[in-house]
Amino acid sequence: MRATGQIVAGELNWERSIQGVSVDYPLIRSWNVSQGTFFTDQDVKSASKVCVLGNTVAENLFPDGQAVGQIVRIKNVPFKVEGVLEKKGGNMMGQDQDDTVVAPYTTVMKRLSGRRRST
């Protein structure tokens, strides 16, 4: 599940696609959290407004390095930053893997994409 929109923190903003994922995302992608934590099953069940930032997004929105616990607005919806993913760098196509935002798929469906269920 994906949605696209501005991610705003204070006076800084970043255009990014937001990925709706499950709690298994770090295991499936072999991608650990370097700061904070990943969201929980309860966050998915309740469609909590929480997110985890890729390193590039975190550095651009929070240059002081203090992203965890902060609030970002995605499509004007406030989300609490639970964690920051460890730095991965570019993929084989040269795309920055760290330029990402992940949130519970239920939250992305209900609050950002307008969809109520996946198809």
pLDDT digits (tens, 9 = 90+) for 44-84: 999 999 999 999 999 999 999 899 999 999 989 999 999 99
Percent of the chain with pLDDT over 90: 70
Above 70 in pLDDT, residue 118? no
pLDDT of res. 16? 81
Q: Residue 2 and residue 28: Cα distance in Å, rounded? A: 17
Above 80 in pLDDT, residue 90? no
What does residue 36 show for φ and ψ, rounded to 5 degrees? Answer: 75, -145
Is residue 112 within 8 A of residue 18, CB to CB? The reply is yes
- Please state the pTM of the whole predicted model: 0.90
